[in-house]
Structure 1
Amino acid sequence: MPFTVAIVGRPNVGKSTLFNRLVGKKLAIVDDTPGVTRDRREGTGRIGDLEFKVIDTAGLEEAFDDSLEARMREQTEHALDEADITLFMIDARAGITPLDSHFADWLRGRDNPVILLANKCEGSAADNGIYESYGLGLGEPFPFSAEHGVGMNNVYDAIQPAYDKWMEENAALIEEEKLLAQVQTRTIINEEGEEIEEIDTSKSPLQIAIVGRPNVGKSTLINHFLGTERLLTGPEAGITRDSIALDFEVDGRKIKLIDTAGMRRRTKVNEKVETLSAADSRRAIRFAQVVCLVLDSSLMLEKQDLTIAKETIDEGRALIIVCNKWDAVKDRKEQLQKLADRMETSMPQVRGIPIVTLSAKTGRGTDKLFPAIFQLYENWNIRVPTGKLNRWLEQMTEAHPPPLAQGRRLRLRYMTQAKTRPPTFVIFANKPGDLPGSYLRYIANGIREDFGIDGVPIRVMMRKGENPYESKKKKR
């Protein structure tokens, strides 16, 4: 576990702005609306020569019932339990509020070292708030501005003593982790029989995005796998706002699960925060390797689900359909048939998309999900040898020759796989622009069927050019 810093404070004091500045990316959603952050979010923070784990938390609220605010406060408490040092932020321009005083008293009763940060100190309007903050009993405040980056040297000075002490106490463990983290290479044999070195990515985490409409059980599913209430859940729709990445392990294989905000139709989105959340979810899809589209089993593949699926396929990601709340379905055979029919008519370009039925709440059927994901990931990474492809292409064109173009036959000279993830194939022809889309679909469907590449997007592109082996044949 790296040195860990938790950022806490009442709503709208700039915690997420500081988090984004420390991680060097706009990972957390920032808006003037109080209470945007709900789940605790983690990232790798850097300031000067210090590198550490930083946790952004929800705004502290004085709520101790079953409300959403109370559950957010519990998430913040978990972050504090994990942290080595706590950064308690106040808004120096607004001065010290009763809520600031209340939570300062609460933090003093905990074992964590607490550092007082006075935010929004880019002008003289913050002076009174800085003087008032001495009354919180947390020591001297460190003034800075998270938005403008002014005074970040003060934040460095606040963290450094505790960081240096922790590094000294954990020196042996840190050295061991550095050795394990070194880039590993492996020797492989290429198609020409030559030994080459490549980076071994088998130990890199498999990134899986959990997406879907609001309130279908995405966070509940992740909590089930983690074995803890790591993410906020509840009957309220749209609880999740940020895309939260969580490290996980299945049978010794590293996984990064990414929980995302529910994605509604754009015409129904009228709040800025929800617009930002949806954009964050789409970003998660772009950077994932496998995308799990979670459906409510009582509403199989609605229009918005199809939109999400199409975006996933267009991005070239591997897609798996997860039918949650399966325990509540009465006629299961009818629902599965309805889903299969909808996929056949609406997503014909990707056949064989895996479907997993489960209940995130009870855990029933969840054991089937990761085996399906791993098989799908293998299909997404499949590589077909060039020689095998060209023998196959010859058989396909003999069985069903390309159509004539302006009275002349189109000749498909040569085929190769350009890349994986998703499998992408290039065909060289004498007149590539004249080949109809129906014939390309014939080729793509043949590849999928004959080489067993089910459930992932397959891209077939045309290029004009000669067979690169033709000149070699002539020389012989």
Structure 2
Amino acid sequence: MGKSTLFNRLVGKRLALVDDQPGVTRDLREGAARLVDLRFTVIDTAGLEEATDESLQGRMRALTERAVDMADICLFLVDARAGVLPADQVFADILRRRARHVIVGANKVEGAAAEAGVLDAYGLGLGEPLRISAEHGEGMTDLYTALLPIIETLTPVDDEPETDVDAEEDPQGPMKPLQIAVVGRPNAGKSTLINKILGEDRLLTGPEAGITRDAISVTAEWGGREMRIFDTAGMRKKARVQEKLEKLSVSDGLRAVKFAEVVVVLLDAAIPFEQQDLRIADLAEREGRAVVVAVNKWDAEDNKQAKLNELREAFERLLPQLRGAPLVTVSALTGRGLDRLQAAVLKAHEVWNRRVATARLNQWLTGMLEAHPPPAPGGRRIKMRYMTQAKTRPPGFVVMCSHPDKVPESYSRYLVNGLREDFDMPGTPIRLTVRGQGDKNPYKNRKKSTPSRLRKHLGKGRADE
């Protein structure tokens, strides 16, 4: 139908996945839309399915009906090229009963073949259909004209808008939501976990693997802190990802990891630390995100203590680059362990933003050099003179030294591990850059020349001769 294409056009970004095959969208995706001077929230839905049972299509329909009940205005899209189908008549009856306001849009009106479909749309009995081309942006002026009077009745204008006293007193403004991406293999329970955090069935879940297709973001207050949580598609091994749609889903999940601040890698307790789990965790570390490892379906485990010891041993052995990162056991089904998960996320975010004073760093560096001096490759001793923190998110440090190209990787790891332990930065990615101090002599490499006054004197002497 082109619902996701129109959604992307209204929000001005390619947020929703778009593909030629029908039924790509499964979850509700919200976005801040802009049309001329109108500002509103638009929701992309999975479309109305005819199934009403507990099948995947039935659950998708229930989620869409929930969005219809929430919305102030429903834009009902029909395919102008295909014309009005029997299912469209059924869905028009549902919208007539449940929706507050309905606007009919005949999409894909390019070309003469769509004219008959536009005329068919009049028969739905929901008013004059708008001629729209979501792909080419046609009909947006007509959509604006249709929305404007309805929105004006929904948002009365106050003569004196209320003033937020607290916002005026706080010069920093409100704290931005903490960005969290939940990633993992298919059927690890990512959507179920987020639904439990939200306290409602906001995301589509079920026993089928790979239900989530694109990265859906939801905003929630979790433990008194506002957070924006991204539910991502399950990531399988690259060799198994053949379909174009699944490739789009995985790339959308990778994009969510790049925009997140904290990445929760969700494992299945029955089969933890599979090869793909390790790749996902390593990806988050390479992107410089704070990482929390959560082991789901913990309620199904019998010998919990032995299993926990086994998990910790495997974590330290298989993911040494994330040594010290939080490992939390949870049950997305029952909600047990969510308080520990929230505490681990906040702690990881705080460490990710940590800054160390330069004086403390150089004092620490002196002690590290005395305990274990750097090697002297080829008999040339490496002198480390100065250290400072260049950035946070993740913490990045710069060491000024002689012969930076001779510093071995093992010595850099020695310094990074020391930073983790001595400044309490477990698990977070740490970036260490070794740089040459530079030569302070401005005359180095300059050709030797005779001073001008001496040249004149020598010239005069030759003339006297």
In structure 2, which of residues 396, 399, 409 is the aligned counterpart of residue 427 of structure 1? 399
Deviation at residue 244 of structure 1 after TM alignment: 0.9
Partner Cα distance (2:114, 2:166) in 1: 46
Partner Cα distance (1:449, 1:171) in 2: 57
Deviation at residue 33 of structure 1 after TM alignment: 1.3
**Aligned partners of 2:71 and 2:99 also within 8 Å:** no
In structure 1, which of residues 298, 301, 304 is the aligned counterpart of residue 270 of structure 2? 298
1:73 aligns with 2:45: no
1:400 aligns with 2:388: no
Alignment of 1:15-414 (within 5 A): 15-167=3-155, 169=156, 171=158, 175-176=161-162, 185-186=171-172, 203-414=175-386
Q: Specify whether residues 320 and 102 from structure 1 end up closer, same or farther in structure 2 by C-alpha distance, changes over 3 A only.
A: same
Deviation at residue 413 of structure 1 after TM alignment: 1.2
Counterpart of 1:349 in 2: which secondary structure? helix
Choose 1 or 2 for highest CA Rg: 2
In structure 2, which of residues 400, 406, 412 is the aligned counterpart of residue 440 of structure 1? 412
Deviation at residue 466 of structure 1 after TM alignment: 5.2
Q: Specify whether residues 351 and 50 from structure 1 end up closer, same or farther in structure 2 by C-alpha distance, changes over 3 A only.
A: same
Partner Cα distance (1:176, 1:427) in 2: 52
Q: Specify whether residues 286 and 355 from structure 1 end up closer, same or farther in structure 2 by C-alpha distance, changes over 3 A only.
A: same
Number of the residue aligned with 2:455: none
5+ residue gaps in structure 2?
A: 441-465
Over the matched positions of the two proteins, sequence identity in percent amounts to: 54
5+ residue gaps in structure 1?
A: 1-12, 187-199, 469-476
Q: Specify whether residues 182 and 141 from structure 1 end up closer, same or farther in structure 2 by C-alpha distance, changes over 3 A only.
A: farther
For normalisation by structure 1, the TM-score amounts to 0.89
Q: 1:337 is matched by which residue type in structure 2?
A: N
List per-residue Cα deviations over 1:184-242 (Å, max 9, x = no partner): 645xxxxxxxxxxxxx6x71000111111111111111111111111111111111111
**Aligned partners of 1:428 and 1:467 also within 8 Å:** no
Partner Cα distance (1:316, 1:232) in 2: 30
List per-residue Cα deviations over 1:336-375 (Å, max 9, x = no partner): 2332233223221221010111111112222211011111
Deviation at residue 164 of structure 1 after TM alignment: 2.1
For normalisation by structure 2, the TM-score amounts to 0.91
List per-residue Cα deviations over 1:386-439 (Å, max 9, x = no partner): 111011111111111111032121011111101001010011111111100000
Aligned residue-pair number: 440
Q: 1:394 is matched by which residue type in structure 2?
A: T
**Aligned partners of 1:353 and 1:454 also within 8 Å:** yes
Q: Specify whether residues 467 and 45 from structure 1 end up closer, same or farther in structure 2 by C-alpha distance, changes over 3 A only.
A: farther
* Aligned-pair Cα RMSD in Å: 1.9
Partner Cα distance (2:24, 2:69) in 1: 22
Partner Cα distance (1:63, 1:163) in 2: 32
Q: Specify whether residues 463 and 247 from structure 1 end up closer, same or farther in structure 2 by C-alpha distance, changes over 3 A only.
A: same
